[in-house]
Amino acid sequence: MIRDALGEALLRMRDTPSLWITGLYLGALFAGDLLLEVQGNSVLAARIGFLGLCALPFFIGGSYGAIQDAGTGIRGYLGAGSRYFFRILLAGAVIVSAALLTTFLVMVPEALIWGSLQGPASLTLVGVSVPFAVFTYFCDTAAVFEDRKVLDSIRRSVEFVLGNPRGALAFYLVNLGIGLLALFLSVALWSAAIADRLEPFVGANQTAFQNLTAGQLVDLIGIPGVRAGVAIGFFAVMIGGTLLVSFKACYFRRAASPSAVTPEVGEFDDKGRWYRY
């Protein structure tokens, strides 16, 4: 099923140009944030990143709508994005709020019992966020393809993962593999582009790199090297984002459809009671 869903996603990317709008948005958001970070505007980059994530449900809803209706027009994409925007956004806000509240509830007893936190708060946050992400990952697809409301889409995502644990795990591993492959290729291309700049540091120890500040690193790479990294990152995120969003939609449609479930074999008796073989 995963192979079929991935193949379908690639075909959708070829036949449905509007799907690339989401990838273009993700790539532009990544490239813009990276440029601001390099220029030292971390506060502005954080604000733009937050606002960009808040707008992301519009583009995700548009991609899902294009896949659901098998349409290639921008009008259908924009219509689906506006129709499902608040539903996906509110579901995400509920999940994030619940994860933060759970993290707080975990840290408070720990601090009271031991007198202080036994580890960094970020580790606790990650430990709580990962299970939340695993079980609620399909809430947006449930909201669009099954027309679920906010809380019902979250419940449906948990139900979907629990009902298909092996398939969901395999799907997550394939997503992770795609992400790592995109990262590896991006780093390889960027390293090749700035190889002449890094040549003096080939024989240097790790301390030389650890002591470099952000400004010194930019001076080392040079403006052309920074631009090359931003361009490579833009295309990597654009292609990878488009593929992962399409893959997620195609997989959920196949795994959640009634045809994907093996029908029960049995018969009714003369009183209308069902007996399964």
Quote the pTM value: 0.80
Q: Provide the pLDDT for residue 259.
A: 47
Under the banding of pLDDT at 50, 70 and 90, the label for residue 266 is low
Q: What is the pLDDT of residues 37-79, one digit of tens each?
A: 877 787 888 899 899 999 999 999 999 988 887 555 788 889 8
Closest CA to 18 of 264, 182, 256, 246: 246
Under the banding of pLDDT at 50, 70 and 90, the label for residue 16 is confident
Handedness of CA 166, 172, 175, 176 (dihedral sign): negative
∠ CA 193-198-201, nearest 5°, is 165
Residue matched to tokens 């007198």: 115
The CA–CA distances, whole Å, from 184 to 33, 86, 179, 191, 224 equal 20, 35, 9, 10, 21
Q: What is the pLDDT of residues 130-177, one digit of tens each?
A: 889 999 999 999 999 988 898 999 999 999 999 888 999 999 999 999
Instruction: State the Cα torsion 255-259-260-261 to the nearest 10°.
Output: 120
